Structure 1
Amino acid sequence: MAKVRTQDLLERFNLELVAGEDGVHREIHMSDISRPGVEMTGYFKFYPKERLQLLGKTELSYYNELNQEERKDRMERLCTDVTPGIVITRQMDIPEELLIACREAGVPLMRSPHKTTRVISRLTNFLETKFAPFTAIHGVLVDIYGIGVLITGQSGVGKSETALELVKRGHRLVADDSVEIRQEDFDTLIGNSPPLIEHLLEIRGLGIINVMTLFGAGAVRSYKRITLVINLELWDQKKQYDRLGLDEDKKKIMDVELPQVTVPVRPGRNLAVIIEVAAMNFRLKRMGVNAAEEFSERLTQVIDRDQAEED
């Protein structure tokens, strides 16, 4: 799991550090953000002290109605030795009791000029991306007509050569050889290339080429959502391959099942064109147009008509 420190939030979102400079290297261990409204009333039994704390207009308005002793107590209990940071939104004035408590406990106190909902949304999206489940798969990821196509198959089957032909046809390379995949939602997989081999493509007999240098910045992209898997395998005469497209295979990556198409490889087959058409056909299916089902319905109608004529 990636390490996220409070310092990362300061740099990423340009937050103002008001106090607690000694604690900017505290680690954040979860994407959940707490708004300690109940805690302002004095109820700390279930206080999630290990979360990033966010104080908005509601929390501070209630706080300002407390007496001096209650204010001091709330802020001292809010600042613990594991609290990664406290964020004040709307550029609101910071209570003196909070400043003192953050300095004494070493809790980073930050301030943002933006609205509370916007700050929560941006911080949560950033943290969920960082803490998303992660894996790596041997394959090639290409953006074809807006469809993130993950090309898999055994080593030497022709994945990189096919990706090169797809790039020449105007599509964009995301990753070659190793695809880093993170699950950002229950049904969303985002793939990218390891930094060491980003924009690079390995072609046997030719070596390593830089796709961005050869074909321009429009031929690559940094990341892409994966929606279709194309599995390349050497042609097996004993195996029965799908000829209509009615069968729908699935490939499970982490907790997400993706549609998978198996394409047999043999001399004379233009894999780049086949994969390109597979991506376009996948888009049509999502739009409600399924050629295989239409053919099956036509065939059923012809059979029913012939049987009716015989009767």
Structure 2
Amino acid sequence: MQLKEFGVSLGDLIQEFKFEIVYGPEGFEKVEITKDDVNRPALQLAGFFDYFDPNRIQLVGKVEFSYVAQMEPEARRACFDRLFATGIPVLIVSRNIDVFPECIEAAQRYQVPILRTNEFTSTIMSALVASLKINLAPRITLHGVLIEIYGEGVLLLGDSGVGKSETAIELVKRGHRLIADDAVEIKRVSDKTLVGTAPEVIRHFIELRGIGIVDVRRIFGVGAIKMTEKVELVINLEPWEDGKQYDRLGLDGQTTSILDIAVPSLTIPVKPGRNLAVIIEVAAMNDRQKKMGFNAAQELQERMLKLHGK
């Protein structure tokens, strides 16, 4: 599993948020944003640059521009000059505020784009941070299948040929939705949340040995696929081994670590005659039941202890 760092281009953000381009130097759409935070440079406009990260998007609104509006033109020019000289990637102006000529002059001098939006400052800031958290999230690609079962994102893992794709097709036929087959790209969008999707080139396709490549969307319809889903349960499929001890009660509480997040996991042995689709459906429903506060294994254990106590 190889962890990579990602960025998002300024052009993609402009397209997503419909920003107005106030000033854009040549090739500015290709500027890569690599920090998932947004800064309002109030202290920087006042001349304080300690602990300032120039790689973050800079966002100014009514408060910041009201402050610099009180300055003399020369002081305002020096103020913006100090800010743009740090090499910030972009300055975004909210609320369709008129941009000071001194600001545009400094941007042109240091070749820093200026964008504008009609949104309130707090609104566009929270939306930008949310988008950056997703676009810049740490991610890995795992060999497996991701299925949505009763609203639960279930990641099937196992050696090649163990039956992951065949089980996925059976689950799709039973009304569940395919997110990814073979390669699952997983992003850590928060400290507690993993989101999985398929690489665009193989999205909606599934490989069945003996048949070949199948387009799930075209065969089963758009209701059988989904673009993204949280990874809430990991099921490891492995060939049945006679004599091996498998969990029969479900009290162990196993987890699998993905991008430093512990995800509840199960190991299901595979052998002829076992209906994996039904077993996995039950596993997903049982996991949802646990999240709602009911654990069947604990309930049975408590009953047995009460019986033993009598």
> Does the TM-score normalized on the shorter chain lie above 0.5?
yes
- Name the CA distance, whole Å, in 2 between partners of 1:282 and 1:296: 18
Asked whether the 8 Å contact 1:154–1:233 carries over to 2, the reply is yes
> How many equivalent residue pairs?
305
Asked whether the 8 Å contact 2:87–2:110 carries over to 1, the reply is no
TM superposition shift of 1:43: 2.1
* Equivalent position amino acid for 1:168 in 2: K
Which residue does 1:32 correspond to in 2?
Answer: 37
Q: Which of 8, 18, 32 is matched with 2:12 structurally?
A: 8
What TM-score results when the alignment is normalised by the length of structure 1? 0.95
* Equivalent position amino acid for 2:270 in 1: V
- Name the CA distance, whole Å, in 2 between partners of 1:47 and 1:260: 42
Which residue does 1:288 correspond to in 2?
Answer: 293
What TM-score results when the alignment is normalised by the length of structure 2? 0.95
Larger mean CA deviation between 220-229 and 102-111 belongs to 102-111
Does 1:155 pair with 2:174? no
Matches within 5 A, 1:35-74: 35-74=40-79
* C-alpha distance after superposition, 1:92-144 (max 9, x if no partner): 11111101111222110110000011111111111121211110111100000
Asked whether the 8 Å contact 2:255–2:264 carries over to 1, the reply is yes
- Name the CA distance, whole Å, in 2 between partners of 1:59 and 1:136: 42
TM superposition shift of 1:83: 1.6
TM superposition shift of 1:26: 2.3
Which residue does 1:21 correspond to in 2?
Answer: 25
Which residue does 2:111 correspond to in 1?
Answer: 106
Larger mean CA deviation between 66-75 and 224-233 belongs to 66-75
Q: CA RMSD in A?
A: 1.2
Which residue does 1:308 correspond to in 2?
Answer: none
Asked whether the 8 Å contact 1:81–1:107 carries over to 2, the reply is no
* C-alpha distance after superposition, 1:69-102 (max 9, x if no partner): 2101011111137321100001111111101111
Which residue does 1:256 correspond to in 2?
Answer: 261
> Which is higher, the Rg of structure 1 or of structure 2?
1
SS of alignment partner, residue 85 of structure 2: coil
- Name the CA distance, whole Å, in 2 between partners of 1:64 and 1:276: 62
* C-alpha distance after superposition, 1:56-78 (max 9, x if no partner): 11111111112222101011111
Asked whether the 8 Å contact 1:192–1:224 carries over to 2, the reply is yes
* Equivalent position amino acid for 1:173 in 2: L
Q: Which runs of 5+ in 2 are unaligned?
A: none
- Name the CA distance, whole Å, in 2 between partners of 1:247 and 1:271: 21
- Name the CA distance, whole Å, in 2 between partners of 1:204 and 1:24: 44
* C-alpha distance after superposition, 1:255-291 (max 9, x if no partner): 1011111111111110000000000011111111111
Matches within 5 A, 1:263-278: 263-278=268-283
* Equivalent position amino acid for 1:56 in 2: G
Q: Which runs of 5+ in 1 are unaligned?
A: 306-311
